[in-house]
Structure 1
Amino acid sequence: MCIAVFMWQAHPKYPFLLLHNRDEYYSRATEALAWWEGESVLGGKDGVGGGTWLGCTREGRIAFLTNFRELDTIRHAKTRGDLPLRFLQSNKSPQEFAEEIEEEAQQYNGFNLVLADMCSSTMVYVFNRLKQFHLSVAKVTPGIHVLTNAALDSPWPKAERLRHNFKEFIDEYGESDPPIKEMVEKLMTNTVKDEECMLPGIHSPEREYPLSSIFVEAQLPAGHYGTRSSSALFVKSNKEVTFYEKYLDQSQWKEKMVTYKISER
Structure 2
Amino acid sequence: MCIAAFIWKSHPLHPFLLLLNRDEYHNRPTTPLRWWDDGEILGGRDEQAGGTWLACSRDGKLVFLTNVREIRTNPLAKSRGDLPVRYLKSKKSPKEFSEELSGETDLYGGFNLIVADLCSMSMVYITNRPKDCGLSIAEVSPGIHVLSNAKLDTPWPKVQVSLHWKGLLSYFSNWQGRYGTRSTSAVVLKTSGEVCFYEKYLEEDMWKKHKVSYHIEK
- Scaled by the length of structure 1, the TM-score of the pair is 0.79
Identity %: 52
Q: Deviations over 1:121-148 (max 9, x none)?
A: 1000000013515110000000000001
Alignment of 1:140-155 (within 5 A): 140-155=140-155
Partner of 1:200: none
Q: CA offsets per residue over residues 141-174 of structure 1, 9 Å max, x none?
A: 000000010000011143131xx1x614189xxx
* Equivalent-residue separation in structure 1 for 2:44 and 2:173 (angstroms): 19
Matched, 1:246 2:200: yes
Q: Residues 33-72 of structure 1 correspond to what in structure 2 (within 5 A)?
A: 33-72=33-72
Instruction: Please list, as runs of the form range in 1=range in 2, the aligned pairs for 1:102-113 lying within 5 A after superposition.
Output: 102-113=102-113
Q: Indicate which of 220, 225, 229 corresponds to 2:183.
A: 229
Give the C-alpha shift of residue 190 in structure 1: 2.6
SS in 1 for 2:84: helix
State the partner residue of 2:166: 169
Aligned mates of 1:58, 1:71 — CA distance in 2: 38
- 2: CA distance between counterparts of 1:136 and 1:107? 15
CA deviation string 1:47-90 (max 9, x = no partner): 01101000001110000000001112111110000000110111
Q: How many residues align?
A: 218
Greater C-alpha Rg: 1
> Do the aligned partners of residues 59 and 250 (structure 1) sit closer, same or farther apart at CA in structure 2, a change above 3 Å counting?
same
Unaligned runs of 5+ in 2: none
Q: Which amino acid aligns with 1:167?
A: H
In structure 2, do the counterparts of structure 1 residues 88 and 82 end up closer, same or farther at CA, with 3 Å as the change threshold? same
RMSD of Structure 2 on Structure 1 (CA)? 1.6
Structure 1: how far apart are the matches of 2:59 and 2:106? Answer: 29
SS at match of 1:132: helix
Per the alignment, residue 178 of structure 2 pairs with 216
TM-score scaled to structure 2, two decimals?
0.95
Which consecutive residues of structure 1, in runs of 5 or more, have no partner in the other structure?
A: 172-182, 192-213, 218-225
**3-state DSSP of counterpart to 1:85:** helix
Report the residue type matching 2:205 in the other structure.
Answer: S
- Which structure 2 residues correspond to residues 1-265 of structure 1 after superposition, within 5 A? 1-130=1-130, 132-161=132-161, 164=162, 167-169=164-166, 183=169, 186-191=170-175, 216-217=178-179, 226-264=180-218
